[in-house]
Copies of this chain bind each other. A is one copy, B any other.
Amino acid sequence: MKIDLLNKIRETNPVVLNISNFVTVQDVANGINAIGASPIMSEEISETDEMVGISSAVALNLGAFTKPQVDHILAMGKAANTHHKPLVLDPVAVGAIDYRKQVANELMNQFQVDVIRGNAGEIAALANVAWDAKGIDAGSGDQDVVEIAKAAANMHHCVVILSGATDVITDGEHVARVFNGSPLFQLHVGSGDMLSSIVAAFCAVSDNDYFEAAQTACLVFAATGQLVAGQLQEERPGTFSMQLMDELHLVTVADIEKIAQFD
């Protein structure tokens, strides 16, 4: 993995444009900022083209959308394609709510995403695999997560990140797995959304190798969380989320290389 993409983010400070989930937007903005990129958010369709024009990558989060926002997401996805900007989709809760799955699929019929990042329940839904998702959580199922991720990647012609205790990253053929992480990520609601936007930041500096960018983003994020969790004596979700911001800013390529576990 090209862990030094992290340095490239810090050197070039790419603007990452987000359609955000209002639940987690502040953490996502601060996470993008902490790792060295520059966040911008938009809620108004009239500024879509200008916004995409000044950005180096676009992240679309389906966390709590309204119908007007779906129109905005559609316009932004199309503009990202037109401007050749990398496009990341986070399909929040499509595993639990059929309406969301339907919206996500309709959107992806109208623009081409480069990376999808979701938990097992969400990726299974997008691959049409039976899975017992639970609200915004992954839930449980007995299919192999690598096969699910590959099926979703082949169906949607993009890189898929199925994140969890082990992150699975695939372009439909090749597979990478990241074994770093911490159970504390599950205790902080914004973790997945933050990872999706950080994936966009890595895509922005990846010379269009989104499979590489996706793997590296997962490794950097998971390893940073593991470093933070390792300093805590107890499971402290509040302290974890605060120190995760600190460490996203402070962590070095060498820190990550020291503990990286992937194949």
Contacts and interface: CB of A to CB of B under 8 A. Distances in A.
A234 to B, nearest CB: 6
Interface string A84-120: 0000000001001111100000000000000000000
Interface stretch (A44-52, A160-168, A208-216, A255-263): A44-52
B26 A46 contact: no
Contacts of A157: none
Given A243-B239, A245-B237, A189 B30 contact: yes
Nearest to A250: B234
Given A236-B250, A239-B242, A189 B39 contact: yes
A162 to B, nearest CB: 20
A26 B235 CA distance: 19
A20 B63 CA distance: 13
A4 interface: no
A25 B29 CA distance: 12
Contacts of A96: 40, 54
A33 B187 contact: yes
A195 interface: no
Contacts of A236: 243, 245-246, 249-250
Interface residues of A, number: 61
Interface stretch (A129-137, A141-149, A169-177, A196-204): A129-137
Nearest to A36: B187
B30 A237 contact: yes
Nearest to A51: B97
Given A135-B38, A236-B250, A238-B246, A43 B26 contact: no
Interface of A: 13, 15, 20, 22-27, 29-30, 33-34, 38-44, 46-47, 50-51, 54-55, 63-69, 93, 96-100, 134-137, 187-190, 234-239, 241-246, 249-250
12 contacts: A15-B134, A24-B29, A30-B237, A40-B93, A40-B135, A42-B64, A43-B66, A47-B100, A51-B97, A54-B134, A236-B243, A238-B245
Given A30-B189, A43-B66, A236-B249, 19 more contacts: A13-B134, A15-B135, A22-B43, A24-B26, A29-B189, A30-B190, A30-B237, A30-B241, A33-B189, A43-B69, A46-B67, A47-B100, A50-B98, A51-B97, A187-B249, A234-B246, A237-B249, A239-B242, A239-B246
